[in-house]
Structure 1
């Protein structure tokens, strides 16, 4: 048996949204939730990274982080993984997570900082359907990593002709259908050899497959699993976000900025049902992620 199958999943329990797994390691971190959720200062993120360094096992299995509001917490996990070897990063996400944010680190701005890590070579954001990469929001994207050829967007259903006008066509992979997008992505990655850090925000999935409180993409669970399987033997780290929980921001500026995203108000019954569905999905995804792990890193 692949020893990666024996790796224990880790839950960063920030918002109580991730259910139980067999043989998991659960770290109670709810004291950090208000400070980190949605956005935080760089100092706060460094403090959180120090606590993780004390509590995480040396070679953690897949890490479940809760709501997509915590996706920027991929940074300390990625930094840890990329100190051992150079990596490419694959992010399945409905959003580019490369948007301008001047007040620290935001769940939608972390990719640029990931590319500043010495061990990170390329980042591929796969499954984007968000208007964040359309003409109306083009100015909000950090362009330097795109011009450097180190950040690639893989999208469907978004008009990205503006990228051609700016000479960015080589890093904008736009498709009419998610099937053709994933076929091209898998073929592209087959030509690469670096180990991979995988980050999954389940808002990349269709609402038929999972429900999150962010706008969602069109990928199906079976397609996500097939893409993960295509990375077999190359994963050295992974995190998963996209759970459902209620945010009650104590900071006025977070309340203002988060209101612009128009997240729906959910009843307690809806939250409970969606969390149960999400946990069932997590249990289905977990063995495929573990099976794709690089044997030497297990």
Structure 2
């Protein structure tokens, strides 16, 4: 297994045998949930200076840092053209006027020159429902650079807009994953996993969750075989109070479930045990 990398913004990933750990606690307030493009450029420069040239799966901590995947995909795509598979309960392609955040970064990933296509897999969130359809950025869907793979969500609005091929709906995870396997182009893959795609019976996160079972996710990863050239895992649980007023306001609007301090350690232990199994499947 390639050497894992911990981007340690919030201390939630725990101990991972053999991993390289980059301490980023000083960046937590600036990057968590969302940040301006200038801040992201600063983080890119830090990665260029301090990350190893090659590494295994990166652990990002809380799902509030999922937009950091954009920098990792950018580094990986600079070496070879690839497709990106994002396992996530949300499309992460929503409108955000203040730069980039954990729910908007996918649009930027579709614009990277060596990313052929982005697949967001396992969406059940109301973010792809009719009430929130206006928040989704439609251009990458129309341009054939992005596909939503949804389970049970109401996506009739997409068919009305001629996006039936880009916003795909399935009745269950098994039929979705079978169709996904047939849609991938057969070349190198970057895989990003937000564990909120999983049923809460598997692990608990601080976002609303999907319906995938662990066995379904692991089987999908193994089916990718040696095609995975880069990967990351997010969706850990950590408690944090923002000092920045606009972040407190926006996170409240997103109605993130509060983490019970009495349960936090148990949630993190289950998360870390799952991480070990995901790392083994990613190779």
TM bucket by the smaller chain?
Answer: over 0.9
- State the partner residue of 2:209: 216
Deviation at 1:193, TM superposition (A): 2.3
Distance 2:30 2:259 in 1: 23
| 1:87 paired residue number | 82
Partner of 2:5: 10
Provide the residue aligned with 2:157 in structure 1: 162
Please point out which of 221, 225, 247 is paired with 1:228.
Answer: 221
User: Of 259, 266, 271, which aligns to 1:273?
Assistant: 266
- Following superposition, the deviation at residue 24 of structure 1 comes to 0.6
Which residue is equivalent to 1:293? none
TM-aligned CA deviation for residue 78 of structure 1: 0.7
In structure 1, distance between residues paired with 2:118 and 2:183: 13
The match for 2:125 is 130
For 1:216 and 1:17, the matched residues in 2 are separated by 19
The residue number in structure 2 matching 1:40 is 35
The alpha-carbon deviation at position 22 of structure 1 amounts to: 1.1
| Counterpart-to-counterpart distance in 2, 1:85 and 1:18 | 29
Cα displacement string for residues 244-291 of structure 1 (whole angstroms, at most 9, x for unaligned residues): 00121111111011001222222322111100000000011111101x
1:68 corresponding residue in structure 2: 63
CA offset at residue 233 of structure 1?
Answer: 1.1
CA distance in structure 1 between the partners assigned to 2:260 and 2:76 by the alignment:
38
Can you give the 5+ residue segments of structure 2 that lack an aligned partner in the other structure? none
Q: Secondary structure at the match of 2:107?
A: helix
What number of residue pairs does the alignment pair up?
283
Of 76, 84, 93, the residue aligned with 1:98 is 93
CA distance in 2 between partners of 1:174 and 1:222 (Å): 21
Q: Secondary structure of the equivalent of 1:170? A: coil
| Alpha-carbon distance between aligned partners in 2 of 1:173 and 1:165, rounded to the nearest angstrom | 13
Q: CA RMSD in A?
A: 0.8
Q: Distance in 2 between matches of 1:47 and 1:203?
A: 28
Does 2:147 correspond to 1:152? Answer: yes
The match for 2:189 among 184, 196, 211 is 196
Residue 260 of structure 1 pairs with residue 253 of structure 2:
yes
Aligned to 1:172: 167
Q: Distance in 1 between matches of 2:197 and 2:270?
A: 16
Q: Residues 30-63 of structure 1: CA distance to partner in whole angstroms, max 9, x if unpaired?
A: 0000000000000000101111111111111000
Q: Is 1:112 aligned to 2:107, yes or no?
A: yes
